[in-house]
Amino acid sequence: MIRIRSELPEDVEAIYSLNQEAFEGTAEANLVNNLRTSNAMTLSLVAIKNNEIVGHIAFSPVTIEYDRATVNAVGLAPMAVSPEFQRSGIGSQLVEEGLNRIRTAGHDLVVVLGHPEYYPRFGFVPAKKYGIRWEHDVPEEAFMIKELREGALKEVRGTVKYRPEFNEV
């Protein structure tokens, strides 16, 4: 049985270790800590199994800049599952719960740089389809966007900019 809940202060060390283990390095773990330190996490959820944190997902603010206008959105990153529990549905539960909470909080758009065979199952589509790109060069199929409110992308075009903490990843 998996339980999804919001991050608590006592989870910080376990979240760091989980990200370090899942990504085989400290870049994503440090990113999460830096976002937390900057008070720049829109949402941080953990997956609990047998009283142990086995998954984590973070959402943070991004902007989409176009025609001298700025649209606020949310970026999904990173999402980590303990290697021993990968491919067991925990990541999907984290993404679904996170998207539901982000939508309920009033956000309209979510972007993700991720596996193009994974995120479309949650309704993500290549951002290029809407004339939206990331400020860095990445494979077009890996940079995706999802509307949380129908029509939110109707007049949005431009370049997505993540928080400066992402420049260190």
The phi and psi torsions of 34 (rounded to 5 degrees) equal: -65, -40
Expressed in angstroms, the distance from the first to the final Cα of the chain is: 33
Condensed to tens digits (0 to 9), the pLDDT of residues 150-160 reads 999 998 999 99
Q: Report the predicted TM-score, pTM, of the whole model to 2 decimal places.
A: 0.95
6-64 tens-digit pLDDT: 999 999 999 999 999 999 999 999 999 999 999 999 999 999 999 999 999 999 999 99
- Please name each of the domains of the chain with its CATH number: 3-168 (3.40.630.30)
Beta strands in the chain (DSSP E): 3-6, 43-49, 52-66, 69-81, 109-113, 125-126, 132-134, 143-147, 158-161
pLDDT at 168: 83
> At 168, which amino acid appears?
E
The rounded distance, in Å, linking the Cα atoms of 80 and 57 is 6
